[in-house]
Structure 1
Amino acid sequence: MSDAEQRLKALDITLPAPLKLPPGMVLPFPWVNVRGDRAFISGHGPQETDGAPAGPFGALGESVSVEEGYASARKVGLSMLGSLQRELGSLNRITGWCHVHGMINCNSGFSDTPSVLNGFTDLIIEVFGEEIGRHSRTAVGVAGLPINFPVEVEAEVMVSPA
């Protein structure tokens, strides 16, 4: 069993507040949908600690560098951990990360999507450790994302009962 909550404190990581949606944007779905021993996590974008969408905005291979994309993917991980903590009550209920699907906003010639998504994966392993944090994943390039985010990630985790 991991002690993700203690690792967050040791790493001096503050999880962001719930996402502050732009005016007029309505999202009629839950951020985390728990079904039995699984939690399905809707696509998250990067956030600031106050819940505001985090930049840089735009596409990899154009206005966003691989390093900025990596940092953005890490912020996506923090956003997702915040949603999981609010829904589950504690990140320590997560018993395993199953699959991560990363979408990278990029131009048609950009092919380094795995390096960008490493920002997310590295954070998850840092917080949960290798055994619980390891996951299969997909890192695909897409032509655009909501709010012009450079990265969006959805995932599935195993959870213990409340």
Structure 2
Amino acid sequence: MSTPEDRLQALGLVLPEVGPPLGSYVHAVRTGTLLFLAGKGPGTPAAPDLKVGREISVEQARADARHTGLTLIAVLKQELGDLSHVKRIVKVLGMVNAVPEFGQHPEVINGCSDLFVEVFGEAGKHARSAVGMGSLPRGISVEIEAIVEVTDPQ
């Protein structure tokens, strides 16, 4: 049976470095067997006036959501040491920096959701909200946070 790390390697994916938080928060907070991951973005801010549904395509925003999912997995790896400690991705909140008339938020956040299933299999299937925002920090196209159940509560 393959591990999440094996699946990442098979997909040709490398986890990005997790730098320090960009504000007065931490990357993750654990309570019992739940790990709450702080919101992350794709790492490549757009200009603040660029919006999904106008200058940013659904395809590009979906790719940004996938990259954001990879960053969330990197935070999990940093916190847990071994991705095999992920019992279940419980909940994902995906926020899309979109024009008011945009309605394809689920298609954008599928970039992250699909990645979680590719890496964690059935344990990657989760409850989710995908919503639009008038703006996001530093002009990023998406911000995604997650709640994860872990098998090693420490």
Tell whether the structures are fold-level matches, with TM greater than 0.5: yes
Q: CA offsets per residue over residues 51-85 of structure 1, 9 Å max, x none?
A: xx225553101210000010000000011111110
Cα distance in 2 for residues equivalent to 1:61 and 1:20 = 31
Cα distance in 1 for residues equivalent to 2:123 and 2:78 = 20
> Is contact 2:90–2:149 with CA below 8 Å preserved after alignment?
yes
Cα distance in 1 for residues equivalent to 2:5 and 2:74 = 11
- Normalising by structure 2, report the TM-score: 0.92
SS of aligned partner of 1:138: strand
Structure 2 counterpart of 1:159, one-letter code? V
Cα distance in 2 for residues equivalent to 1:5 and 1:61 = 34
SS of aligned partner of 1:86: helix
How far did residue 29 of structure 1 move?
1.1
Give unmatched runs, 5+ long, in structure 1: 47-52
How far did residue 19 of structure 1 move?
3.5
Match status 1:86 vs 2:78: yes
Match of 1:117 among 109, 127, 135: 109
SS of aligned partner of 1:69: helix
CA RMSD of aligned residues (A): 1.7
What is the percentage of aligned positions where both structures have the same residue? 38
Structure 1 counterpart of 2:127, one-letter code? S
In structure 2, the residue matched to 1:43 is 39
Q: What number of residue pairs does the alignment pair up?
A: 151
> Is contact 2:95–2:142 with CA below 8 Å preserved after alignment?
yes
- Normalising by structure 1, report the TM-score: 0.87
Cα distance in 2 for residues equivalent to 1:20 and 1:40 = 17
SS of aligned partner of 1:43: strand
> Is contact 2:45–2:138 with CA below 8 Å preserved after alignment?
no
In structure 1, the residue matched to 2:24 is 28
> Is contact 1:56–1:68 with CA below 8 Å preserved after alignment?
no
> Is contact 1:56–1:150 with CA below 8 Å preserved after alignment?
yes
Cα distance in 2 for residues equivalent to 1:2 and 1:155 = 23
> Is contact 2:85–2:151 with CA below 8 Å preserved after alignment?
yes
How far did residue 110 of structure 1 move?
0.4
Structure 2 counterpart of 1:9, one-letter code? Q
- Structure 1 runs (4+) greater than 4 angstroms displaced: none
Structural mapping, 1:57-136, within 5 Å = 58-129=50-121, 131-136=122-127
Match status 1:147 vs 2:143: no
> Is contact 2:46–2:139 with CA below 8 Å preserved after alignment?
no
Cα distance in 2 for residues equivalent to 1:101 and 1:15 = 21
